[in-house]
C-alpha cells in the first residue's frame, strides 16, 4: 500500500475500473425494485459551477446508497442545450450557437466524469439534437389539433432600436441591455399551451405528493391560485348599444359598497375612451409603455383616469364611473374590477387619491365606519350594513343571496377563477426548437405532418441581436402548405426552452428510440423516484413538467401522472465577495486572491490582496461573474481531488440549506481523507491482536444507527460527520482487532457514496472485497447497542443540576431516590416540597419544587 494518499492516482484507477466493468449501465429488471434518481440537467454554459457539483454530488450519494441497498438504479445525464446564453456568446465571438454549445458539452462531460459520478452515459441526450426536439414538435402538433395549443396575442418587451424582442433578463431598469433604449410593451401573436385546462387536476394532485417539500407544494398551490367568487355584470350603453362590463370578485358581499369600476389599459372601454379623450389616450399609452414584468408592475404608483363611461350597478342601478387604472391587469380575470374602497386597501387608497366615494357596507372589528388611514380590519369579513335587503347577513349568506339575485337578472353567477395563465411558448429567437407550423394564405395555420418532422434548425447561423436570423433565411421559411401544396411561410419562432425540459426525464428511459417519443421502457423506470435541483425551480419547471406528464398520459404515452415522486430542493452555493475601491470604481477581487488576518478570537480583522492592497468585504452572496467570487471546481479537483470536493460539499451544509464556501474548510475535508488513508495504512501493517472492545463497538454502532437515520432524512452532512466520528473511535482502538476490522469496513461503506474513489481503493487494498459497490449496506448490530447502565440528567424546575447512572431496568422509585441523593440536587431541593417528579425514560428526571 502507498504511504501517502495520492487522490489523482486513486481516482484515475477507480474510474478506470468502473469504465472497464461498465459499472453504471442500467438495464430494466422487473425482478428488482427500481430507483430512478435524477438531478436537473445542466445548461451547457461553458464549465461546471459549484451549484452543479453540489447538485450532482447529492444525486450521486443517493444513487450509490440505493445501489448498495439492492435497488436497480438509474442515474442519467443530459444537456438543456437550447437557450439565450448561446446566442449571446455567438454574438460576442461570431461563432454559431451550435458550435459553442457542442464544445461546452464536450468539456463539461469531461468534468462530470472526473468527479466520478455514477452516470449511465449511454443515455446521454441534448435537447438541441433533432432526434430529441423532433418529439417536442410531434407532441405540439397533437396538442394543436386538440386545441390544447392555440394562437393568441401575448405581451413582449420590445427594443425599438434593435427592433427585437427582449427577455426579461435583458431589460435593465426599463431599458434594453445593448441599446439603452426605453423598452416598450408590444402585443404579438404567439402560441400558447392550455395549462389552465389542467389547473384543477394540478392543484388537487398536490395533496397526494407526500415526497415533496411542503413549501414547494404551497408555492405551486398559490401560483395556480384557485379562488371562488362571483362574476358580476355592470350594464352600460356605448354608441346606443347595450353592453355589460364583467368583473370577478371574491367579495360579492361588498357589492353594495361598490362606488366605481376600474379597467386595464388594454380593456375595450379604455380603448374607446382614448379615442375621444386625448388625456385618456396619453395615459393608456403610458400604461402600455410601462414594465411587462409583474414584480415591477406591482411597485409602480397606482394611477388612473376617468374614462367618461358610466355603468349601472346591477342591484341599485346607480351610475358608477369607470376608471382606467394601471393596477388592473388584463391577464387576470376580465381585465376589470369593481372597486369597494371601504373594504379593499388598493381601492381605498385610489379613492382617497382621486376623491371617489367610500361607502362602508360591512361591520368590521373596529366598527361601522372606515376613517383614514387604512386599517387591515376594514377588509375583514363581517355582517352587512347599509346594504338594503342584505343587511344583517354574514359573509357566506350575503355572497349566496347576491349571487342568486344576479343570476336571476342574468348579471352574474358563481365562478371559480384561476391565477394560473396559459403558457406562452413562442420565442422570437434562433437557438431553440422550431414551432412546427406552416402559415398558408388559404388554409391558415397548418401543423407540419409527422412524415416531415423534425423541422430541422439550421446550425450554421450567427445571430446579431436584431431579431431572429431564421426570419431572414428563405431556405428555412419558404415552403409549401402541407394541406394544399401552395406556397406558404414556415413559422420562424422557436419554443420556450422550458418545453425541452418538461419531459426529458421520460426520454432518458428510452435511449435509441427513433420511432416514438417514449416506449415501454419508460413504463418500467417512470416516475422519477428522486428528483434533485435548485429551489429556484419550485414553480415553473416543476409545474410545466407535471403538466406535460398529464398531456403525455392523455396521448396514451405513459401511465404515470406525477413525474417526480420525491423532490429534494437544494440550496444555493454562496461565497464572500471583496472589492478594491479606486476612485469610486470597484474592482472585484476573487476571494482566492484575498488574504485575511484575524484577531485573537478568530474574527476577521482586515483583508488585503496578495500584493498588499486593502480590500472591502462586501458580504456573502451567490457566486457570480459580476462579483468575481466564483470558485472553479476544476481548480479544486486538481488541487485536492474529486473526493475532497465531494466530501466538503456534503459535509459543509445540509442539502436544502445554502452553502457558504470556505477554502479553509475544504482543507479540513482533505485532512480527514488523509487521516482515513493513514489509518488504513497503519491498520494494514498492524498485527492481529486482542478482542473487540465493547465500548468501541457501542460507539461505532451508535454512530452508524444515527447515520442510517440521517441518510433516510437526506441529512447527508451529519452522515459525513458520522464517518469522522467513526474514524475518531477507530483511532482510539490500540492495534488491530475484530472491532477495528468491523469498524473500518463500516467506515468505508458509509463513505463510499460520498467519496467513492478512496472507498473503492481501500476496500480492495485491505481485501474486504472485489468491489465495494457490490457490498451490502452496513446495519447496526443490536447486541453492540445493549447497555447495562444509562446516564440520566437530573433537573430541578427544569434547570440542569446533575446527572446519575442507573441500571437500565431501574424503576421510577429507584430513579427518584438516586436523583434526590445527588448532592448538587439536594442543594436546590433542600427545605422545599417536591410537588411533582417527571421521569423521561433513558433521558432525564425533573423535580418540581
Does position 724 interact with RNA (CB under 7 A)? The reply is yes
Rounded to a whole number of angstroms, the minimum distance from the CB of residue 319 to RNA is 31
For RNA, the binding residue among 797, 805, 814, 817 (CB under 7 A) is: 797
Residue 766 and residue 744 in contact, taking contact as beta carbons nearer than 8 Å:
yes
Of the listed pieces 240-248, 517-525, 723-731, 769-777, which binds RNA according to CB under 7 A? Answer: 723-731
Separation of alpha carbons 636 and 57, rounded Å: 15
Cis omega (within 30 of 0) for bond into 671: no
Backbone angles phi and psi of 667, in degrees to 5: -55, -40
Separation of alpha carbons 347 and 616, rounded Å: 46
CB proximity list for 366: less than 8 A, separation 6 or greater = 375, 377, 378
For RNA, the binding residue among 665, 689, 787, 826 (CB under 7 A) is: 665
Residues between 118 and 137 that touch RNA (CB under 7 A): none
Beta bridge pairs of residue 338:
261
Secondary structure (3-state) at 438: strand
Rounded to a whole number of angstroms, the minimum distance from the CB of residue 227 to RNA is 12
Rounded to a whole number of angstroms, the minimum distance from the CB of residue 280 to RNA is 25
Residues between 584 and 613 that touch RNA (CB under 7 A): 598, 600-604
Rounded to a whole number of angstroms, the minimum distance from the CB of residue 224 to RNA is 8
Does position 373 interact with RNA (CB under 7 A)? The reply is no
**C-alpha grid cell, residue 232:** 358580476
For RNA, the binding residue among 421, 489, 639, 682 (CB under 7 A) is: 421
| Total chain residues near RNA (CB under 7 A) | 104
For RNA, the binding residue among 67, 123, 343, 725 (CB under 7 A) is: 725
Largest Cα–Cα distance of the chain, in whole Å?
Answer: 106
For RNA, the binding residue among 497, 549, 566, 577 (CB under 7 A) is: 497
Residues between 155 and 214 that touch RNA (CB under 7 A): 156-157, 165-169, 190, 214
Separation of alpha carbons 310 and 313, rounded Å: 10
Rounded to a whole number of angstroms, the minimum distance from the CB of residue 403 to RNA is 25
Does position 312 interact with RNA (CB under 7 A)? The reply is no
Separation of alpha carbons 766 and 775, rounded Å: 14
Does position 222 interact with RNA (CB under 7 A)? The reply is yes
Query: What burial class does residue 827 get, using C-beta atoms within 10 Å of its C-beta: 0-12 exposed, 13-18 middle, 19+ buried?
Result: exposed
Of the listed pieces 229-237, 293-301, 313-321, 522-530, which binds RNA according to CB under 7 A? Answer: 293-301
Of the listed pieces 111-119, 174-182, 248-256, 674-682, which binds RNA according to CB under 7 A? Answer: 674-682
Residues between 60 and 89 that touch RNA (CB under 7 A): 80, 82-85
For RNA, the binding residue among 43, 390, 525, 763 (CB under 7 A) is: 43
Of the listed pieces 377-385, 404-412, 739-747, 790-798, which binds RNA according to CB under 7 A? Answer: 790-798
Of the listed pieces 245-253, 380-388, 687-695, 792-800, which binds RNA according to CB under 7 A? Answer: 792-800
Decide whether 41 or 390 has the Cβ nearer to RNA.
Answer: 41
Of the listed pieces 278-286, 494-502, 547-555, 762-770, which binds RNA according to CB under 7 A? Answer: 494-502
**C-alpha grid cell, residue 827:** 442543594
Rounded to a whole number of angstroms, the minimum distance from the CB of residue 795 to RNA is 6
Beta sheet of 241-249, edge-to-edge order = 241-249, 226-238, 412-418
CA distances, 264 to each of 158, 255, 296, 565, 624 (Å): 20, 20, 16, 41, 38
Q: Quote the DSSP letter at residue 526.
A: P
Does position 293 interact with RNA (CB under 7 A)? The reply is yes
Residues between 621 and 660 that touch RNA (CB under 7 A): 621-622, 651-654, 657-660
Which residue from 328, 372, 366 is spatially nearest to 352, judged by alpha carbons? 372
Residue 170 and residue 394 in contact, taking contact as beta carbons nearer than 8 Å:
no
Secondary structure (3-state) at 598: strand
Secondary structure (3-state) at 343: helix
Beta sheet of 789-796, edge-to-edge order = 799-807, 789-796, 844-848, 836-840
Beta bridge pairs of residue 165:
158
Decide whether 11 or 710 has the Cβ nearer to RNA.
Answer: 710
Residues between 501 and 540 that touch RNA (CB under 7 A): 501, 534-540
Decide whether 442 or 797 has the Cβ nearer to RNA.
Answer: 797
For RNA, the binding residue among 106, 298, 605, 814 (CB under 7 A) is: 298
Integer distance in angstroms from the first to the last C-alpha of the chain?
Answer: 64
Amino acid at each position: 500500500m502507498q504511504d501517502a494518499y495520492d487522490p489523482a492516482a486513486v481516482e484515475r484507477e477507480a474510474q478506470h475500473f468502473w469504465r472497464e466493468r461498465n459499472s453504471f449501465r442500467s438495464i430494466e429488471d422487473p425482478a428488482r425494485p427500481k430507483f430512478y434518481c435524477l438531478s436537473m440537467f445542466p445548461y451547457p454554459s461553458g464549465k461546471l459551477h459549484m451549484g452543479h457539483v453540489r447538485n450532482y454530488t447529492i444525486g450521486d450519494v443517493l444513487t450509490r446508497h440505493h445501489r448498495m441497498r439492492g435497488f436497480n438504479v438509474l442515474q442519467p445525464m443530459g444537456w438543456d442545450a437550447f437557450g439565450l446564453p448561446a446566442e449571446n456568446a455567438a454574438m460576442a465571438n461570431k461563432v454559431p450557437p451550435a458550435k459553442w454549445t457542442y464544445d461546452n458539452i464536450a468539456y463539461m462531460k469531461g468534468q462530470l466524469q472526473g468527479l466520478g459520478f455514477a452516470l449511465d452515459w449511454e443515455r446521454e441526450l441534448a435537447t438541441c439534437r433533432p432526434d430529441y426536439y423532433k418529439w417536442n414538435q410531434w407532441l405540439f402538433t397533437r396538442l394543436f389539433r386538440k386545441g390544447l395549443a392555440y394562437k393568441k396575442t401575448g405581451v413582449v418587451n420590445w427594443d425599438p432600436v434593435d427592433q427585437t424582442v427582449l427577455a426579461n433578463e435583458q431589460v435593465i431598469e426599463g431599458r434594453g441591455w445593448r441599446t439603452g433604449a426605453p423598452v416598450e410593451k408590444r402585443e404579438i401573436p404567439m402560441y400558447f399551451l392550455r395549462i389552465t385546462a389542467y389547473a384543477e387536476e394540478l392543484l388537487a394532485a398536490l395533496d397526494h405528493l407526500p415526497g415533496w417539500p411542503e413549501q414547494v407544494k404551497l408555492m405551486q398551490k398559490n401560483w395556480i391560485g384557485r379562488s371562488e367568487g362571483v362574476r358580476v355584470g355592470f350594464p352600460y350603453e356605448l354608441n346606443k348599444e347595450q353592453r355589460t362590463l364583467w368583473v370577478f370578485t371574491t367579495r360579492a358581499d361588498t357589492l353594495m359598497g361598490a362606488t366605481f369600476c376600474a379597467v386595464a389599459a388594454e380593456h375595450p372601454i379604455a380603448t374607446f375612451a382614448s379615442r375621444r379623450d386625448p388625456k385618456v389616450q396619453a395615459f393608456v399609452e403610458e400604461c402600455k409603455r410601462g414594465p411587462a414584468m409583474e414584480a415591477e408592475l406591482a411597485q409602480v404608483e397606482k394611477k388612473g383616469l376617468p374614462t367618461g363611461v358610466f355603468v349601472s350597478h346591477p342591484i341599485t342601478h346607480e351610475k358608477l364611473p369607470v376608471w382606467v387604472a394601471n393596477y388592473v391587469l388584463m391577464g387576470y380575470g376580465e381585465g376589470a374590477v369593481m372597486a369597494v374602497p371601504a373594504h379593499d386597501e388598493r381601492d381605498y387608497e385610489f379613492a382617497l387619491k382621486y376623491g371617489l366615494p367610500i361607502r362602508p357596507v360591512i361591520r368590521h372589528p373596529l366598527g361601522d365606519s372606515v376613517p383614514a388611514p387604512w386599517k387591515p380590519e376594514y377588509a375583514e369579513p363581517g355582517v352587512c350594513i347599509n346594504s338594503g335587503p342584505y343587511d344583517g347577513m354574514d359573509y357566506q349568506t350575503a355572497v349566496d343571496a347576491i349571487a342568486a339575485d344576479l343570476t336571476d337578472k342574468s348579471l352574474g353567477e358563481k365562478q371559480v377563477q384561476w391565477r394560473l395563465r396559459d403558457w406562452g411558448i413562442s420565442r422570437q429567437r434562433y437557438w431553440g426548437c422550431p414551432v412546427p407550423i406552416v402559415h398558408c394564405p388559404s388554409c391558415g395555420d397548418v401543423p407540419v405532418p409527422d412524415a416531415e418532422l423534425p423541422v430541422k434548425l439550421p446550425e450554421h447561423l450567427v445571430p446579431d441581436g436584431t431579431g431572429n436570423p431564421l426570419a431572414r433565411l428563405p431556405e428555412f421559411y419558404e415552403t409549401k402548405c402541407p394541406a394544399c401544396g401552395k406556397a406558404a411561410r414556415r413559422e420562424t419562432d422557436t419554443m420556450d426552452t422550458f418545453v425541452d425540459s418538461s419531459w426529458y426525464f421520460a426520454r432518458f428511459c428510452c435511449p435509441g428510440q427513433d420511432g416514438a417519443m417514449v416506449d415501454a421502457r419508460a413504463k418500467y423506470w417512470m416516475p422519477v423516484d428522486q428528483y434533485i435541483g435548485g429551489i429556484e425551480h419550485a414553480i415553473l419547471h416543476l409545474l410545466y413538467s407535471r403538466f406535460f406528464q398529464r398531456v403525455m398520459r392523455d396521448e396514451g404515452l405513459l401511465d404515470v401522472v406525477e413525474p417526480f415522486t420525491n423532490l429534494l430542493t437544494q440550496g444555493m452555493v454562496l461565497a464572500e465577495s471583496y472589492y478594491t475601491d479606486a476612485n469610486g470604481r470597484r474592482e472585484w477581487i476573487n476571494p482566492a486572491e484575498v488574504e485575511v488576518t484575524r484577531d485573537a478570537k478568530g474574527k476577521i480583522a482586515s483583508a488585503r490582496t496578495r500584493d498588499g492592497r486593502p480590500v472591502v468585504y462586501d458580504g456573502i452572496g451567490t457566486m457570480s461573474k459580476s462579483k468575481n467570487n466564483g470558485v472553479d471546481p476544476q481548480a479544486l479537483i486538481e488541487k485536492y481531488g474529486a473526493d475532497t470536493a465531494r466530501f466538503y460539499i456534503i459535509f459543509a451544509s445540509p442539502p436544502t440549506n445554502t452553502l457558504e464556501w470556505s477554502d479553509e474548510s475544504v482543507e479540513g475535508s482533505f485532512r480527514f481523507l488523509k487521516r482515513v488513508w493513514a489509518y488504513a495504512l497503519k491498520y494494514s501493517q498492524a498485527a492481529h491482536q486482542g478482542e473487540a472492545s465493547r465500548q468501541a463497538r457501542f460507539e461505532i454502532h451508535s454512530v452508524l444507527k444515527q447515520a442510517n437515520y440521517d441518510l433516510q432524512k437526506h441529512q447527508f452532512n451529519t452522515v459525513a460527520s458520522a464517518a469522522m466520528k467513526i474514524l475518531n473511535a477507530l483511532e482510539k482502538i490500540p492495534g488491530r482487532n475484530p472491532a477495528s476490522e468491523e469498524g473500518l469496513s463500516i467506515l468505508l461503506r458509509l463513505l463510499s457514496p460520498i467519496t467513492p474513489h478512496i472507498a473503492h481503493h481501500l476496500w480492495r487494498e485491505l481485501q474486504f472485497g472485489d468491489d465495494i459497490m457490490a457490498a451490502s449496506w452496513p446495519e447496526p448490530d443490536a447486541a453492540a447497542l445493549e447497555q447495562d447502565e444509562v446516564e440520566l440528567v437530573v433537573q430541578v424546575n427544569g434547570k440542569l443540576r446533575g446527572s446519575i447512572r442507573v441500571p437500565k431496568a431501574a424503576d421510577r422509585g429507584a430513579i427518584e431516590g438516586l436523583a434526590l441523593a445527588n448532592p448538587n440536587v439536594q442543594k436546590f431541593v433542600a427545605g422545599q416540597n417536591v410537588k411533582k417528579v417527571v421521569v423521561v425514560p433513558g433521558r432525564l428526571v425533573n423535580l418540581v419544587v
